[in-house]
Structures are given as C-alpha cells and as structure tokens.
Amino acid sequence: MPSDIRRKLGKTMKRKADILIIGAGVLGSATAMHLAEKGVRNIFVLDFDLEGQWSSSELNAGGVRATWNHPLNIEISRDSILYYESVASEVGYHPCGYLWLYPPSKWEGALASRERQIALGWDVEAWDVPELIKRRPFLDKTDDLAGAIFGKRDGLINPNRLKNHYRERARSLGVEFVDRVWFKRASYDGGKANLVFDQYWDAEIYQDSEFKKHLLTDAGSGSGASREVIFEADQVVNCAGAWAPEVAKGLGYPCPSKPVRRQISVFDCRDLDLRPYGMIVDASGVYFHPEATNGLAGFANAGEPEGRNFQYDGESFFTEYLWPALYERSSKFERLKHLTGWAGLYEVSPDDCGIVGTVEDPAGNVPAKRVFESHSFSGHGAMQSFAAGRGLAEKIVTGAYQTLDLDPLHASRFDQGRLIRESNII
C-alpha cells in the first residue's frame, strides 16, 4: 500500500459492535431492521459490496408466493407477503398471482398442499383444465395437464427496493452499514468475537465490476488493495447468502450449503402481451413472468454443478432449456426471440430450505449464543426475508421465537434427520 494512503488510513482501530451482521443482502438488511426495531443499538452490517452487484438479492426473479407445500414455508411467506402488501408502493409489490400447472402425477399432491395453504389463511384457487383455458386462453397446449393452482395474492416484488426499504428503516434507527469489507476469520475471547476483515480502500477499483466478480468468485483472494480491520462484537450473524459456507468456516463452524448457478433469460414475446399475467410455473419447472414489455423466464437445472459461476450462457441456455418448454405450452410462444439474461447464485441447503437460528458447534470452536445465522434459502430468500429477519431478531433479543416458531429451520436438522420435506421448489 502506498505510504500516503497508509497515512490517510491511520493506525488500525478496533471498532466495537453489540451485533455485527456479515452480509447486507435482503436477509442481512431485514435482520438489522428487526433488531433495531426491537431496540438493539450499536448494530453494524458489513458487506464486501453494499451495492450488491453480484449478490443474489440483486440477480433474482422477484417472485413472492405462499403457495408452498410445507406449513412453515407457507407461514413464513404468508407473513412476509402481508408485510410487503403494507408497504407495496415502496417495495414494488404487485399481487399479480402465481399460476402452477400440474401433470396428473402431481395433481393430488397439489390439491393437498392447497388445503394446507387455505387452512393457514392463504386463499388459493384450483382450476381444472377447461377453467385454465378459459382464464388463460393463450395456454392452448394442455394435453399433459390435470389442472392448475392459482395463488392470487402471490406476485412479484422489486427485490432491490425491498432491500433498500429494510436498510432505510434500519439506518433511521442507527444501524451502520459498512461497505468494501471482506470477512476473513474470527477468534473468541472473554465472550467477545474478534473479527478480521480486509478493507478495500481503493474506491476506483469498485467501479470495476469484474474486480468484484473476481473476489466473489474466488472467495476473497487475489487483490493487494486492502488492509486488515478488526471488529469486536458481542454477537455475530452470518447472512452471507451463497458465501455463507466460507463465512461459517471463518467463524469456526461447518455449513452444509453450496452455491449453485441459476440463469434467467429475457425474451421478446412478440405474439402475446404478458403484462396482464403474473408468474406462471410450467409443469416442466420453467417459470416465466412479464418483465416490462418482454418476458422473463428461468429454470433450475438439476445438473448444474456446485460453484460460484456467474457466466450467463446466453441464447444457448434459452434455446436448450426454456424455449422448448414454452413452445410446448402455447402456440403464442413459437416465435419468441432471446434478448438478454444473466446468471446469479442460489444458496442451496441440503433440503432446499433456509437455515436460521443459533449456531451450536459440536466441536466447541464457537462459544454458545454468540453466533447466529440466516441464509441458504435456496432460491426463495427474497420472498421470506421479512419473517426470517423478524424471527431471528426475536431469537437474538429474547432467546425464543415469539411469532412463528422457526426452530425447524435450525441447522441441527441435517444431522438429526429432521429435513424439511418441501416439494414446491423451483
């Protein structure tokens, strides 16, 4: 580091936090907001890139739905969406619905899930195929379908505005968000956690999105433009999304999740205006919804290898994975034209559901009740962020869940064989 910059930065100072959150995506920002609303002060949220250019909160499809199979997923999404409704204009929430198309083999299960959704206060309609054709006439290739489930209060949100909404509320209550710091490791001493970060002092480098991508791909290696800074914290929260396993390692405990690439394409839907419709999840697993005057579609390729890969495969992804399924569903989709797209990371847990709660490390590396986590929502973190943040804040502040019992999401479920059985994953 040049000596003038070293002088400018001065001596390394240890900053002190009551609660320090690593990761400022929707999960970290929501947790900070709820903690601050519960009266906790001296909260810091640290992120390598507050703008979040490569974060999952930036690169997702914006779907929000309570049409899940497992009761807890229904409830977490339901409570979150009720909140998004209450701040709809701020977070860009549109209750345009989720329409799920089912083949005969899955129809019975879908109807059973619908019963559960209704019992938990989520009004969901079941359409047989004639009703589906009446309500969505452009879906004119339905021979393989048994029916459809329509969650009319499900819909779309602007995840970036949601994240900023959480942040603004948190900031107004004194939460400090710190940019350009990369967490490396922690040690525990006298009940405190000492956390070491690399602080990237060269603002110009941050104009270069490839630089950020490089670090986020190679898990923090490879640049000299940094110096170490240390934070001391009473409690720490791992909200690092697809990077949660590395952050967990630095905090001293194992995390079973893995990052997996997911791609999204935007296409010109020349023969149909999709704007009156919400999200449609095809029986093939391909989902699509309007994106301004175009269409947006995605697909969770089961064969995608683990890894932090942000490479978008472009037209070949659209042609191989998306278009055939759309073509098979509607004659209006025969002339689609690929426009653009991107790739982001799912943070996938072993049962495709979020990991929330206190870190209990059987190896004894992490002192009790010092470290918490909320991550690995496996592609549905934006829609569940409000209730997940609320629950974790309750747990941290009072030692127990007050609204929804999130204990089933505790990481111990993987070792204890208490996996969450969820079938409505896309």
User: Interface with ligand FAD by CB under 6 A: which residues?
Assistant: 22-28, 46-49, 52, 55-57, 59-63, 181-183, 220, 239-243, 247, 262, 264, 298, 344-346, 375, 377, 379-383
Nearest-approach distance from CB 95 to ligand FAD, in angstroms: 15
Residue type, position 186, single letter:
A
Per DSSP (E only), the strands in 62-221 are 63-64, 98-102, 124-128, 147-151, 155-156, 176-178, 181-189, 192-200
Provide, rounded to whole angstroms, the least separation between the CB of residue 182 and ligand FAD. 4
**β-pairing verdict for 279-281 and 98-102:** parallel
Asked if residues 357 and 401 have their Cβ atoms less than 8 Å apart, the reply is: no
What tokens does 240 get?
């690092």
Q: Least separation, in Å, of the C-beta of 174 and ligand FAD?
A: 21
Nearer to ligand FAD, 56 or 142 (CB): 56
For the CB of residue 121, give the shortest distance to ligand FAD in the complex, in Å. Answer: 20
Q: Identify which of residues 147 and 290 has a Cβ nearer to ligand FAD in the complex.
A: 290
Per DSSP bridges, beta strands 226-238 and 371-375 are: parallel
As measured in angstroms, the least distance from the Cβ of 334 to ligand FAD is 25
Q: With respect to ligand FAD, which residue has the nearer C-beta, 62 or 278?
A: 62
Nearer to ligand FAD, 116 or 184 (CB): 184
Query: Cβ neighbours of residue 270 under 8 Å, at least 6 residues apart?
Result: 335, 336, 337
137 vs 254, which CB is nearer to ligand FAD?
254
Task: Give the whole-angstrom CA distance, residue 318 versus residue 316.
Answer: 5
Kindly tell me which of 147 and 377 has the beta carbon lying closer to ligand FAD: 377
Residue 332 or 410 having the CB closest to ligand FAD: 410
Contact 242/255 with Cβ under 8 angstroms?
no
CA distance 72 to 87: 23
Alpha-carbon gap, residue 394 to 407, rounded angstroms: 12
49 or 351, CB closer to ligand FAD?
49
CB of 62 to ligand FAD, least distance (A): 5
Cross-strand bridge partners of residue 345: 261
Tracing tokens 């709660």 back to the chain, one arrives at 357
Please state whether beta strands 258-268 and 287-291 pair in parallel, antiparallel, or not at all (unpaired).
Answer: unpaired
Question: Closest distance between ligand FAD and the C-beta of residue 157, in Å?
Answer: 8
Grouping H, G, I as helix, E, B as strand and the rest as coil, residue 46 is strand
**Closest distance to ligand FAD from the beta carbon of 166 (Å):** 10
Q: Count the helices and strands in the chain (H runs, E runs).
A: 13, 18
